[in-house]
Every structure is written in structure tokens, then in C-alpha cells.
Structure 1
């Protein structure tokens, strides 16, 4: 039994993604907007996710595009404010992520009391946003200094928009990451939000993962969740839970409920 059962109440949890609207400092932050409006939209999405019955929720700055390698103080402060307005209404296990910045993610979790997080914590990558070089040794020491002993880390071993700067396979990356970095779980995603990972890539990671859970990071849908559960120990789900299955839409409680009915059936519940 992995930590997933203790944290989420099931070995194959569905973690719904709560994508915050653009925040102060983000290029897409709209004229005349306010953090209060971001919080109001987040509350509506939170209600829809919980009414639909997800097993957990991850709050991210999904629309802070293009993503910063070092998340700005204004973004992190705004995320903390919004999460603070939601905290008393969250009734399931939850986490937070400052996308692309492992250190900022750890600091955000310390400030908000998140129970878990997900990030591309490790490796050297190249893509549209330039060269990305992680210093996970520093990140882990920061986690230790902040006494986040119970915070669970879900490590991406793939990237939606970058390539790894060597010729190792994803399975080889996962194997060395497990040895060097002690991940609580591994996350395998596709090449973009809403697109699922390659089955062969997941299979390769599973061969080396041992007791470390492997979670689907992108592209899990109502019609594919049963298949995903044959390969993975759970899934992060975002786009397909939104109105019209569109990335920019609001979370739709009916779509969440339909998805979770399929997930529970696949789990034999």
C-alpha cells in the first residue's frame, strides 16, 4: 500500500486541477481585473470539483503564461492570497504548485499548508522558455529547512514543452531520479495539456519504479480513465473537467461527476 491510500483514501486517486486565472504581473492579467475576481472564479471551480467528487485538488497558476523559471514575488503572493480565501472551504486533500519553479512551489506549500505538490523538480531541459536547469539539492534542503516533513512530492519525469538535455530514455531518467531524489510519486505526461502520455513511456517508467507510484499527468478523459488505471496509480485531471472540454473553460460540475462515476467504476467501487 502506497501513501496514496492514506492521503486520498484510494490507491488510484483522481486529483482535479484548479487552474487559477491570470494573476497580477502575468501578461494575460486583464485590464481592470483584481485578485478578488481571481479568487471568486477559483471558488466556483473549487465548488464544482468538490461537488463532482474528486479525490483531491491541486491548485496551480496555470494561466501565468509564459511561465517564469523563477516565479515572481507578486505571483506567489497572489497565489497565497487566493488559496487563503479558499482554505476553509476545501474538504478534500489538496496541494499547490507554482509552475516551473520548485523552490517557489515549496515556499508556497509552506505558507499555505498544502499536503502535496507536483512540479518538474529535477533535470536540465530546453524548450520555448529557454534552458531550464534544476537544482533539486537546494530545493530539498529548502523543504527540510521549512520542516515540511509530511509534504508529498510528485515529480514530473516528462515535460509538456521541453526536451531533456541528454539521450537517456524517460525510464532511465526515472530510475536515476528514484535513486538520487527520493520522489514520493512519479508523474508522466504528454506533450501538452489535455494530451495523454505514450503507453510505452509509461510502461518503461513502471518497470523501474518499484514501490514508487506512477501517476498520469495529462490527457486522462472519461472514456480513457479505465485504461489509464491499468497503467497508472492515479491521474491529475484538468481540461476534460471543464466546460466543453476546453482548457480555458470553467470547471463543470456535471462533467466532473460523470468523470468520477467512470473512475469509481474502473476502481470497482
Structure 2
């Protein structure tokens, strides 16, 4: 099922428990899957437009290559979530493991992936990350996954972009569009940090692609961004105490979606 932007899309994050082989791994795969499905069902019951799963607890993150154990584990989770909910499911594999994400999406029938490091190299906290648009799009074609949307971070969070300081935001966005991105993601400097509204406005002017905000959105500030974005990827503010490491809080989800309903009816 494709993610539609006919109305502004609300995408809820499911941050998986630390996966096998990572330093904080404790839960069994059965527990990781059950927890992910439980959180996805909360989003589904509150009529969000999509869910995205991510291996956020796998710190410290590897750079591009995550290992078969991570790809296998996330495929198992993705299949379970996809089978239990009615709304589209997407995936991001940290850090920058974009071909793995597309492979999982193809195997599990997911709608989209979030890809970092798509255009222009940058220095992330995992080290230097080169751009991978050409490799990724050829890989998507080679496995027959053209129906998997690839939404791409622009000047991604948790990274330094000084090496491309002479390339402005508009030019970076236009490069992603030229390199066949399916959507643009604008973020703040870190997880839970707000994106600059001016950056979102620039993205809307620079490209005909859907523009999503990928960090820092909450019930309290979504109205400010509402006129300028096509989608909102929301994680931290929907967790207990508004902290990304905690479980999804259905009361926070309910409160956010009440606000979204108001905005949609205006």
C-alpha cells in the first residue's frame, strides 16, 4: 500500500528494541516483534497515515553496512507489523544502510524507506558517509522494487555539512529531485530537535516533491508547520515523557491526532 499525500500524512515511529549483535541487545526476537506490533497497532487504531520502523536502539551505529543479522531481524519485524496493521509501513536502517532498507521493503511488502546520505557526502557521527543515490536507485530497479518510495534526508541531522557549505539548501534539494528522490525530508540538528520553518518553506519552493518534516514535531508546534509540509514523521513527542527511548504513549498519540483533526477541518 502506497503512502498518499492527498492529505497531509502523519507517520508514527516505532523504534525497535536493540537487535541481535548490538551492544544493548537484551530482548528476544519474539519480544522485539511483539513490542513493535503493539506500538504499530496504537498508531493504526488512531488512524495515522503510516508507520515507520527503525533500529534506533542499535547504538553505536555502523556506517552503511549493518550485517545480515540486522537485515534479517528487521525483515522479521517488518513482516509481522505489515501483517497486523492496515496502514502503510516504511523502514529506515541506521546508519545509512539504504540498500538493506530497500531489500527489506521488497521482501516484506513495505511502502517506503527513509534514506540518509542520498546526495552530497557529509561527516556523520558514524564517520564520513558518501552519497549513494546512483547505487540505491540501480539496486531498487534490479530487485523490482520500483513501487517502494525512497524519501531522502536533506542535510541530515547528527552530521556536519561543512564540506558542502558552498552548496545551499535549495541546490541540495534540487539535486535530490534530479537524482529521482520520491520525497524530501527536512530535519533539525538532532533527534527531537525542530526543523527551521524557513528550511521547510525553501524545500516547498525548490521542489515539486512531497516535503516531510523528520524531527521535532509535537502537538504543541505542528500547527506552525502545517501550511508548509506534506507529511510529518513523529517519534519522540509520542513517547512516554516525550523521550524517544520510551514506549509509545497512546494518550499522547490520541492528543496529537485530535489536533491533526482540527487542522484538517480548518
TM over 0.5: yes
Q: Secondary structure at the match of 1:186?
A: strand
TM alignment of 1:1-269, pairs within 5 A: 7-8=3-4, 10-30=6-26, 33-69=27-63, 70-99=65-94, 100-120=96-116, 121-164=118-161, 165-167=163-165, 168-179=167-178, 181-209=179-207, 211-268=208-265
Q: Secondary structure at the match of 2:3?
A: helix
TM-fit CA distance, 1:87: 2.4
Asked whether the equivalents of residues 158 and 187 of structure 1 are also in contact (C-alpha less than 8 Å), the reply is no
TM-fit CA distance, 1:229: 1.0
Asked whether the equivalents of residues 240 and 246 of structure 1 are also in contact (C-alpha less than 8 Å), the reply is yes
In the alignment, the residues of structure 2 paired with residue 230 and residue 186 of structure 1 have an alpha-carbon distance, to the nearest angstrom, of 16
Asked whether the equivalents of residues 53 and 257 of structure 1 are also in contact (C-alpha less than 8 Å), the reply is no
Q: Secondary structure at the match of 1:105?
A: helix
Asked whether the equivalents of residues 28 and 65 of structure 1 are also in contact (C-alpha less than 8 Å), the reply is yes
In the alignment, the residues of structure 2 paired with residue 117 and residue 49 of structure 1 have an alpha-carbon distance, to the nearest angstrom, of 18
After superposition, the CA RMSD in angstroms is 1.7
Q: Pick closer, same or farther for the CA change 1:125–1:53 going to 2, 3 Å.
A: same
How many residue pairs get matched?
A: 261
TM-fit CA distance, 1:9: 6.7
- Report the TM-score, using the length of structure 1 for normalisation: 0.92
TM-fit CA distance, 1:144: 0.2
Q: Secondary structure at the match of 1:54?
A: coil
Where structure 2 has 5 or more consecutive residues not aligned to the other structure, the ranges are none
In the alignment, the residues of structure 1 paired with residue 128 and residue 7 of structure 2 have an alpha-carbon distance, to the nearest angstrom, of 36
Asked whether the equivalents of residues 197 and 225 of structure 2 are also in contact (C-alpha less than 8 Å), the reply is no
- Report the TM-score, using the length of structure 2 for normalisation: 0.93
Q: Secondary structure at the match of 1:267?
A: helix
Asked whether the equivalents of residues 99 and 139 of structure 2 are also in contact (C-alpha less than 8 Å), the reply is yes
Asked whether the equivalents of residues 238 and 252 of structure 2 are also in contact (C-alpha less than 8 Å), the reply is yes
